[in-house]
């Protein structure tokens, strides 16, 4: 942050920090692109994220003892009463911004931060009142605001921190800084502002009079009042303009003066910072899907109660009698303790399809714990450990067992008998939480902190410095064991015990094998694709330059705005703080509205650049064995869907020529004859038909005809032959939208139609398919009554905000209640299908194997001579995963590469 080093008061004055909530939230909204900060249900969170980031940084840098945030209530204030055109030039608040101030308020409440908003006054009047009171009471005052009128408050003990770069940099305005910038004292600033006018507030200035002239007059005459009294002395055209606009500038002067005696419920002394409700803070962040660990850490680090929160009392009676096991000592330890459930923690590495285990710790309920380095045990130890870890009758309690399942085979070990995975259990108990890290769960469920690696733990019997690493890991193993017991009861409470043991744990074992297998990559093909996209990017640059007749930086929004809206005078797009937007939607709109080629070229440039980055990422992840080993994530999506990272295979486009070309880079590996792909057709809609029991929708599936055409004919009241592509497109978007909790507004945005037309489309659909309407209403009502939604297999998603007084939070929860049972059931079906296929391959003693799962598709590598048998097996097992009223339909294809295996 610029010029924001914390200045400690030499006389230990209390320090009050005041923030202008609306001003900073609005700046944050325009500083961060909404498309990068939106929840799965469509709620933008960019203003929330930017505001909280600035708040965390400012609290860290300024270390205030007292803190409050002021907000505007509405645009109707004493200023608008006196001057009806006050701020009348401001554009309508963007829909994406609406509601985010309420969400910021929710977070501030959870942080126990006082917030003020008073009818008839603006936030700066509240700030002026508190600053004046605080200065008189001996406080040092810091004001964070984007309103320059606040400079009138600056004094020896009041400093304004003014954002000068989005929300990431603040400039410290002291009396000296104000004089340096404007040549005026802070007390003279309102006089100067009245003469200058303020376009952002719709306060007119004096024609021909800019900031330099306004400052010169104030310095010459000493004050605004004196200037008005002696206006006849000002010479020239500027003087005449001043006299012609005296009434306007007098009004400006009244409006720019801040009110310093607003009646408030609290004074500065009552604004002392208080410890957070940390669970409430993380709960709001979880609901808003703000998962950036840096922001969370910064917010929690400035919690006044952080010291207490970081050192909870250990659980009573928990002791760890740890032993560092050398060569020849592991086998006897297992013989003594291995017959009971053991908690296990490991330190391992995994990258590009290979890795190793460097430390293992085991802990028993009687307090015994052992640590060993796999490289230092002897043959008898290794034989004993390999037998124990592979014995399904010996219960193991683990955290994120898949990581161990993936890397243990590097040592020749296989894992069986995992009775509990505490990460998966926590996910089933509370799927919407942000972190499933062991230390966070230990604090929440056991009430004790875990020592980080390399730090001795006081609960250990030995705890010598050179054994600190072993001490920490054994403490973690004991925490895993204790969490296992805690989650055994929690799973029963939420009805998820069977889901863990029958679905999630077996899926972990399967995914670990799939990650080890990887999928073969054609490096030469991918490198050629990368060059192709790089060439396309450069070609687009040349075409863009040629289209306007000169060079410019295509990556600069400012330069692009100047070209599009200045030089080319194309229609203006949505106004933002930094100009007219040039995002993808805006460029697509310009392409449709005009005949100029630049918007089309820009869209192609961005798409080709994105594809190039995707392919570069794929090339970097090709391992020494020539295969790409992605990592599958089971605990990311609250609905139960799997995702992947390093690389993210869901990023590869499915329906574009370029995406299909990239998929040709995923090929069959040596020793196998082909790839086989299989996926479900319209699985979410079939689930929706099943859950709603709507006879018309079920019949539409049963007819075997194109679903969207059949539904469109009923909604639009025409024969199937009269359904045109546009009708089908609208119905397809709406049908899937209903399954994802899409609102009429969201549908209108997606289809680029009026909200009224979208609402009419949905109403007509519900008239034809009343069972769907009734189901969607019932789903929300039942979830509101029980507090959760549930899939066919019993996967719950708890939605406490269904009864929230905050409309934004409540509406988000309602959308989740609509889509969670449908998406969650589809995710469960895919997992069951994968497990059934894998089990059937084993039972049939086939050597073909599962490699990938992406969206609703699975990819297998087929051994020579097994294709027909595997295809029949896959069709049977996937179609029979569950029984639905609208039967599951499976499409299968095979080929040398992922694309040619499409169906």
- 663-673 pLDDT, tens per residue? 999 999 999 99
Distance of CA 699 to the CA centre of its chain: 39
407-437 per-residue burial string, b: 16 or more CB within 10 A, e: under 16: bbebbebebeebbbbbbbbbbbbbbbbbbbe
Residue 523 and residue 450 share a domain: no
Interval 4-54: pLDDT, tens? 334 445 457 899 999 999 889 988 888 887 777 877 667 788 899 989 988
Residue 696 and residue 598 share a domain: no
Confidence of residue 451 (pLDDT cuts 50, 70, 90): low
Compare 272 and 44 and report the one with higher pLDDT.
272
Q: Give pLDDT, residue 197.
A: 64
Q: Is the pLDDT of residue 556 over 90?
A: no
Compare 623 and 251 and report the one with higher pLDDT.
623
What does the CA dihedral 437, 443, 446, 448 come to, rounded to 10 degrees?
Answer: 120
- Last residue within a domain, chosen from 449, 471, 490: 490
- Last residue within a domain, chosen from 628, 651, 667: 628
Residue 481 and residue 532 share a domain: no
What is the domain-level CATH number for residue 23? 3.40.50.1010
Residue 141 and residue 71 share a domain: yes
Q: In what order do the strands lie in the sheet with 666-667?
A: 627-628, 519-521, 666-667
User: Rounded CA gap, 741 and 39, in Å?
Assistant: 12
User: Rounded CA gap, 531 and 529, in Å?
Assistant: 5
Q: CB within 8 A of 8, min separation 6: which ones?
A: none
DSSP state string for 671-737: T--EEEEEEESSHHHHHHHHHHT-HHHHHHHHT-S-HHHHHHHHHHT--GGG--HHHHHHHHHHHHH
Percent of the chain with pLDDT over 90: 49
Q: Give pLDDT, residue 702.
A: 87
Q: Which of 429, 535, 886, 514 is nearest to 696 (CA)?
A: 886
What does the CA dihedral 385, 386, 388, 389 come to, rounded to 10 degrees?
Answer: 110
3-state helix, strand, coil in the chain (%, to 5): 55, 15, 35
The answer to whether 77 and 87 have CB atoms below 8 angstroms apart is no
State if pTM tops 0.85. Answer: no
What is the domain-level CATH number for residue 753? 1.10.150.20
Q: Is the pLDDT of residue 273 over 80?
A: yes
Which ranges of 396-548 does DSSP label H, i.e. alpha helix? Answer: 401-407, 422-429, 438-441, 468-493, 497-498, 505-517, 523-548
What does the CA dihedral 169, 173, 178, 181 come to, rounded to 10 degrees?
Answer: -20
Give the dihedral sign, CA 77/82/88/90. negative
DSSP state string for 272-320: B-----HHHHHHHHHHTT---HHHHHHHHHT-TTHHHHTSPPPPTT--B
Residue 150 and residue 30 share a domain: yes
Confidence of residue 654 (pLDDT cuts 50, 70, 90): confident
- Considering 262-271, 279-288, 855-864, the range whose residues carry the highest mean pLDDT is 855-864
In a domain, 839, yes or no: no
Looking at residues 430-440, what average pLDDT do you find? 82
What does the CA dihedral 306, 310, 314, 318 come to, rounded to 10 degrees?
Answer: 160
For the chain, how many structural domains are there in total? 4
Residue 469 and residue 344 share a domain: yes
Q: Which of 273, 288, 280 is nearest to 50 (CA)?
A: 288
User: Rounded CA gap, 281 and 112, in Å?
Assistant: 10
The answer to whether 675 and 668 have CB atoms below 8 angstroms apart is yes
What does the CA dihedral 657, 661, 664, 666 come to, rounded to 10 degrees?
Answer: -110
Residue 531 and residue 474 share a domain: no
- For tokens 């104030």, what's the residue? 218
For 179, counting Cβ atoms within 10 Å of its Cβ (0-12 exposed, 13-18 middle, 19+ buried), the class is: middle
Interval 77-91: pLDDT, tens? 666 666 666 655 555
Q: Give pLDDT, residue 384.
A: 97
Percent of the chain with pLDDT over 70: 88
Q: CB within 8 A of 756, min separation 6: which ones?
A: none
Q: CB within 8 A of 429, min separation 6: which ones?
A: 487, 490, 491, 494, 496
In a domain, 784, yes or no: yes
In a domain, 249, yes or no: no
Lowest mean pLDDT among 138-142, 263-267, 390-394: 263-267
The answer to whether 1 and 56 have CB atoms below 8 angstroms apart is no
Q: What is the CA radius of gyration of the chain?
A: 32
- For tokens 């409006």, what's the residue? 255
Q: CB within 8 A of 316, min separation 6: which ones?
A: none
Confidence of residue 307 (pLDDT cuts 50, 70, 90): low
In a domain, 858, yes or no: no
Distance of CA 745 to the CA centre of its chain: 22
What is the domain-level CATH number for residue 439? 3.30.420.10
Q: Is the pLDDT of residue 2 over 50?
A: no
Per residue, what are the HEC states of 596-615? CCHHHHHHHHHHHHHHHHHH
Looking at residues 750-778, what average pLDDT do you find? 88
Residue 410 and residue 342 share a domain: yes
The answer to whether 774 and 738 have CB atoms below 8 angstroms apart is no
**Cis peptide leading into 647, omega within 30 of 0?**
yes
Q: Give pLDDT, residue 751.
A: 81
In a domain, 511, yes or no: no
On average, the pLDDT of the chain sits at 86
What is the domain-level CATH number for residue 613? 1.20.1060.10
DSSP code of residue 449: P
User: Rounded CA gap, 787 and 808, in Å?
Assistant: 17
Q: CB within 8 A of 167, min separation 6: which ones?
A: 24, 27, 28, 31, 50, 51, 53, 54
Helices and strands, counts by H and E, the chain? 36, 25
In a domain, 851, yes or no: no
Q: Which of 891, 884, 886 is nearest to 855 (CA)?
A: 891
User: Domain range holding 800?
Assistant: 684-824
In a domain, 94, yes or no: yes
Residue 478 and residue 532 share a domain: no
Confidence of residue 462 (pLDDT cuts 50, 70, 90): very low
The answer to whether 20 and 145 have CB atoms below 8 angstroms apart is yes
Q: Is the pLDDT of residue 268 over 70?
A: yes
Q: Give pLDDT, residue 309.
A: 41
In a domain, 275, yes or no: no
Q: Give pLDDT, residue 459.
A: 38
Q: Give pLDDT, residue 377.
A: 95
Q: Give pLDDT, residue 455.
A: 37
Q: Give pLDDT, residue 308.
A: 47
The answer to whether 635 and 423 have CB atoms below 8 angstroms apart is yes
Looking at residues 769-780, what average pLDDT do you find? 91
Other C-beta atoms lying within 10 Å of the C-beta of residue 715: 22
Residue 472 and residue 350 share a domain: yes
Q: Give pLDDT, residue 101.
A: 86
Q: CB within 8 A of 137, min separation 6: which ones?
A: 267, 268, 269
3-state SS assignment for residue 494 = coil
For 366, counting Cβ atoms within 10 Å of its Cβ (0-12 exposed, 13-18 middle, 19+ buried), the class is: exposed
Q: Give pLDDT, residue 316.
A: 46
Q: What count of Cα atoms within 13 Å lies in the side-chain half-sphere of residue 511?
A: 25
Interval 500-535: pLDDT, tens? 999 999 999 999 999 999 999 999 999 999 999 999
Q: Which of 734, 655, 699 is nearest to 899 (CA)?
A: 655
Structure tokens, 700:
């539409």
Interval 314-360: pLDDT, tens? 454 567 788 999 999 999 999 999 999 999 999 999 988 899 999 99
Q: Give pLDDT, residue 199.
A: 58
Other C-beta atoms lying within 10 Å of the C-beta of residue 230: 12
Q: What count of Cα atoms within 13 Å lies in the side-chain half-sphere of residue 592?
A: 7
DSSP state string for 761-781: HHHHHHHH-HHHHHHHHHHHH
Q: Give pLDDT, residue 133.
A: 93
Q: For the chain, report the end-to-end CA distance as a whole number of angstroms.
A: 54
Residue 561 and residue 479 share a domain: no
Q: Is the pLDDT of residue 808 over 60?
A: yes
Residue 407 and residue 343 share a domain: yes
């Amino acid at each position: 942050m610029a010029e924001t080093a914390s200045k400690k008061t030499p006389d230990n004055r209390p320090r009050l920090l005041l923030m202008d909530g609306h001003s900073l939230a609005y700046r944050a909204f325009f500083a961060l692109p909404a498309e990068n900060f939106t929840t799965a249900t469509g709620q933008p969170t960019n203003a929330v994220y930017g505001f909280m980031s600035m708040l965390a940084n400012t609290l860290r840098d300024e270390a205030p003892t007292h803190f409050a945030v002021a907000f505007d209530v509405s645009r109707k204030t004493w200023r608008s009463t006196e001057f009806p055109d006050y701020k009348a030039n401001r554009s309508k608040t963007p829909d994406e911004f609406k509601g985010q101030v309420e969400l910021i308020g929710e977070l501030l409440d959870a942080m126990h931060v006082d917030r003020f908003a008073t009818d008839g006054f603006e936030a700066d009047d509240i700030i002026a009142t508190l600053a004046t009171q605080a200065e008189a009471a001996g406080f040092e005052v810091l004001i964070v605001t984007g309103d320059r009128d606040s400079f009138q408050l600056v004094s020896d003990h009041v400093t304004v921190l003014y954002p000068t770069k989005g929300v990431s940099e603040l400039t410290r305005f002291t009396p000296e800084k104000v004089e340096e910038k404007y040549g005026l004292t802070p007390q003279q600033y309102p006089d100067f502002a009245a003469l200058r006018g303020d376009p952002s507030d719709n306060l007119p200035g004096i024609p021909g009079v800019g900031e330099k002239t306004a400052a010169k007059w104030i310095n010459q005459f000493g004050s605004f009042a004196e200037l008005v009294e002696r206006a006849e002395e000002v010479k020239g055209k500027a003087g005449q303009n001043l006299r012609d606009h005296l009434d306007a500038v007098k009004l400006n002067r009244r409006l720019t003066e801040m009110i310093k005696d607003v009646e408030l419920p609290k004074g500065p002394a009552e604004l002392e910072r208080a410890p957070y409700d940390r669970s409430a803070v993380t709960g709001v962040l979880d609901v808003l899907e703000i998962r950036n660990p840096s922001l969370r850490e910064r917010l929690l680090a400035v919690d006044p109660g952080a010291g207490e929160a970081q050192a909870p009392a250990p659980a009573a009676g928990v002791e760890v009698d740890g032993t560092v096991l050398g060569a020849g000592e592991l086998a006897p330890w297992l013989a003594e303790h291995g017959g009971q459930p053991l908690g296990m923690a490991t330190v391992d590495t995994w990258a590009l399809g290979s890795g190793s285990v460097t430390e293992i710790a085991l802990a028993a309920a009687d307090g015994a714990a052992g640590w060993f380095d796999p490289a230092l045990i002897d043959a008898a130890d290794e034989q004993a450990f390999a037998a124990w870890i592979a014995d399904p009758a010996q219960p193991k309690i683990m955290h994120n067992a898949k990581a161990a399942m993936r890397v243990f085979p590097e040592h020749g070990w296989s894992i069986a008998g995992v009775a509990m995975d505490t990460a998966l259990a926590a996910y089933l108990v509370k799927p919407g939480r942000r972190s499933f890290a062991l230390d966070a769960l230990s604090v929440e469920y056991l009430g004790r902190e875990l020592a980080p690696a390399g730090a001795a733990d006081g609960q250990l019997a030995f705890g010598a410095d050179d054994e600190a690493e072993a001490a920490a890991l054994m403490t973690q193993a004991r925490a895993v064991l204790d969490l296992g017991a805690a989650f055994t009861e929690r799973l029963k409470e939420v009805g998820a015990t069977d889901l863990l043991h029958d679905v999630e744990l077996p899926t972990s074992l399967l995914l670990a094998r799939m990650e080890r297998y990887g999928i073969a990559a054609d490096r030469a093909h991918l490198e050629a694709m990368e060059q192709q996209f790089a060439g396309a990017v450069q070609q687009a640059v040349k075409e863009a330059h040629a289209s306007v007749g000169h060079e410019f930086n295509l990556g600069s929004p400012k330069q692009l705005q100047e070209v599009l809206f200045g030089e080319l005078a194309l229609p203006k797009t949505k106004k933002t703080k930094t100009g007219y937007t040039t995002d993808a939607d805006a460029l697509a709109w310009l392409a449709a509205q005009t005949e100029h080629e630049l918007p089309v070229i820009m869209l192609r440039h961005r798409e080709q650049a994105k594809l190039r980055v995707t392919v570069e990422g794929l090339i970097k992840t090709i391992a020494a064995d020539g295969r790409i080993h992605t990592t599958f994530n089971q605990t990311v999506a609250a609905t139960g869907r799997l995702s992947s990272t390093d690389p993210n295979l869901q990023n590869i486009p499915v329906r574009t020529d370029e995406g299909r070309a990239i998929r040709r880079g995923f090929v069959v590996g040596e020793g196998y004859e082909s790839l086989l792909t299989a996926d479900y057709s319209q699985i979410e809609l079939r689930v929706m038909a099943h859950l709603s029991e709507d006879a018309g929708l079920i019949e539409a599936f049963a007819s075997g005809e194109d679903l969207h055409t059949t539904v469109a004919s009923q909604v639009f009241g025409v024969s199937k032959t009269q359904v045109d592509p546009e009708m089908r497109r609208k119905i397809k978007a709406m049908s899937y939208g209903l399954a994802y909790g899409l609102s009429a507004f969201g549908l209108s945005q997606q289809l680029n139609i009026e909200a009224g037309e979208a609402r009419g489309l949905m109403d007509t659909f519900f008239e034809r398919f009343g069972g769907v309407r009734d189901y969607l209403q019932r789903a929300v009502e039942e979830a509101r009554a029980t507090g959760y939604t549930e899939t066919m297999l019993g996967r719950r998603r708890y939605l406490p905000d269904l009864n929230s007084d905050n409309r934004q939070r409540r509406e988000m929860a309602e959308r989740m209640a609509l889509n969670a049972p449908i998406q969650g059931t589809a995710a469960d079906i895919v997992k069951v299908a994968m497990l059934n296929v894998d089990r059937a391959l084993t039972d049939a003693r086939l050597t073909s194997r599962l490699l990938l799962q992406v969206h609703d598709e699975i990819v297998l590598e087929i051994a020579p001579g097994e294709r027909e048998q595997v295809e029949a097996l896959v069709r049977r097992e996937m179609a029979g995963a569950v029984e639905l009223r609208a039967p599951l339909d499976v499409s299968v294809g095979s080929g040398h590469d992922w694309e040619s295996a499409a169906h």
